Amino acid sequence: MTATQAAPTTGDVVLEAENLTKHFPVRRGLRDLFTRERKAVHAVDDIQLTLRRGRVTALVGESGSGKSTVARLMAQLYTRTSGDIRLHGESVTVHGGRKFRAYCRQVQMIFQDPFASLNPVHTVRYHLTRALKIHGRAGTNSAELEQNLRDLLLRVQLTPPERYLDKFPHELSGGQRQRVSIARALGADPKALLADEPVSMLDVSIRLGVLNLLRDLKERLDLAILYITHDIASARYFADETLVMYAGRMVEGGDSETVTQHPAHPYTRLLIESAPDPDRLDRVGDPKDAPADEGGGEPPSLIAPPTGCRFHPRCVHAMPKCSTEHPPRFELPLVDSGQAHWAACWLYEEGAAK
Ligand SMILES: Nc1ncnc2c1ncn2[C@@H]1O[C@H](COP(=O)(O)OP(=O)(O)OP(=O)(O)O)[C@@H](O)[C@H]1O
């Protein structure tokens, strides 16, 4: 670092996406041979996302809303259809090779199923040594490598490290396996972690421990973390900021307390109603905070998504405009936290009847 460069501080932008879009082409069937139309799954459309040092951003939505696709795009595992991804302010597009490795040194992904992401025929020592070697952090001799391996396991609270180093994945519990996956990611000394449903396959009793570990890493290593989940209650507990996705688009965002306690978008309210948070139970019946019925139904087809707001076919507040015009982000009045809060919903256009 040169003398003129300021040291990075908590809150600095690490990774950001602008207008990120991914359409997966659909293979043409026999019936489509005579049409010119090219069908695609509109998995992710026009996403804005900013990950900052020392902060957790939750991306919440039901199955198929596009959360994993966003993470894979940010990890450069998928090529994007359009949009921009910037790492420390610089646009990046990599397709494998040395550039991809350099990107992975800064941005690491943690997957939902630690059993699938660890090779069953190799020990913890093998997985972690490989990660350290790939990223040039194995040290110059075997004593240094041993110390680095121990440090990684200590960092994910697998103690004493000697007990775990020579174990195979099947000899570990689900929580321990996920901790090894996290240790492997830390082997790169990344600046951002993309955690795709990191606890959803774990026993309920050990989920909190793994989330607490991630929070501890965020604080101690000043990591920027993207936390993908379908469980909005855990976003309130764990994330600083929460973004809600529906059918490939972002519909609401703000600090986690505000989004989960004062949800604005009818879809966010529906998500919260279907996953009650004990702290809100005393307010059930308060029409301002918990409308009685926010609609049900199924998410739409992403091959031919609804025009206008994609939630309008399920929305009990839908107005004529909702089916024809895509709503922009409307800034909402600040509540308790004083942090920015927005919703992409015509209900919040100035003058709209709520
Ligand atoms: N490789 C692919 N080819 C075609 N369609 C895909 C592909 N990957 C994802 N999709 C589609 O894109 C949409 C978004 O999928 P994605 O996995 O990102 O959602 P998600 O919110 O992460 O869901 P889940 O929680 O079930 O993983 C879905 O309709 C899915 O079927």
What would the two tokens of residue 188 be? 């790169």
Confirm whether 89 is domain-assigned: no
Give the dihedral of Cα atoms 80, 83, 241, 114; nearest 10 deg: 10
CA distances from 12 to 239, 261, 301 (A): 17, 27, 37
The tens digit of pLDDT for each residue in 196-227 reads: 999 998 988 899 999 999 999 999 999 999 99
Task: Find the mean pLDDT for residues 5-31.
Answer: 82
Degrees, nearest 5: CA angle 297-229-344: 60
Domain span holding position 335? 263-354
310 lines ligand 1 (CB under 6 A): no
Q: Is the pLDDT of residue 108 over 70?
A: yes
Contact, 312 vs 318, CB < 8 A?
yes
Task: Find the mean pLDDT for residues 67-79.
Answer: 96
pLDDT at 10: 65
229 lines ligand 1 (CB under 6 A): no
pTM surpassing 0.95? no
The tens digit of pLDDT for each residue in 120-130 reads: 999 999 999 99
Query: 10 Å Cβ neighbour count for 147?
Result: 12
61 lines ligand 1 (CB under 6 A): yes
Residues 6+ apart with CB under 8 A from 336: 257, 258
Q: Is the pLDDT of residue 280 over 70?
A: no
43 lines ligand 1 (CB under 6 A): yes
pLDDT at 2: 41
Residue nearest atom 25 of ligand 1, based on CA coordinates: 63
Contact, 164 vs 172, CB < 8 A?
yes
C-alpha–C-alpha distance, residues 245 and 222, integer Å? 26
Confirm whether 311 is domain-assigned: yes
Q: Which of 19-28, 119-128, 230-239, 268-277 has the lowest mean pLDDT?
A: 268-277
> Separation of 129 CA from ligand 1 center, angstroms?
32
Confirm whether 158 is domain-assigned: no
Strand ranges in the chain using DSSP code E only, listed in sequence order: 13-25, 40-52, 56-60, 82-87, 90-91, 107-110, 192-196, 224-229, 241-246, 249-255, 330-331, 341-343
63 lines ligand 1 (CB under 6 A): yes
pLDDT at 290: 41
Confirm whether 95 is domain-assigned: no
Confirm whether 286 is domain-assigned: yes
Confirm whether 305 is domain-assigned: yes
User: Looking up tokens 């900052």, which residue turns up?
Assistant: 52
Beta bridge partners of 51: 15
Ligand 1 pocket mutation pick from 21, 67, 232 by most atoms within 8 angstroms of CB? 67
Confirm whether 334 is domain-assigned: yes
Domain count for the chain: 1
**The ligand 1 atom nearest the CA atom of 44:** 14
C-alpha–C-alpha distance, residues 58 and 229, integer Å? 7
The tens digit of pLDDT for each residue in 173-192 reads: 999 999 999 999 999 999 99
**The ligand 1 atom nearest the CA atom of 41:** 5
Task: Find the mean pLDDT for residues 282-298.
Answer: 50
Q: Which of 44, 33, 49, 210 has the alpha carbon at shortest distance from 114?
A: 210
Query: 10 Å Cβ neighbour count for 54?
Result: 19
Confirm whether 87 is domain-assigned: no
pLDDT at 82: 97
C-alpha–C-alpha distance, residues 83 and 94, integer Å? 14
Q: Is the pLDDT of residue 282 over 60?
A: no
Diameter of the chain by CA atoms?
69
Give the dihedral of Cα atoms 42, 43, 45, 49; nearest 10 deg: -170
Q: Is the pLDDT of residue 351 over 70?
A: no
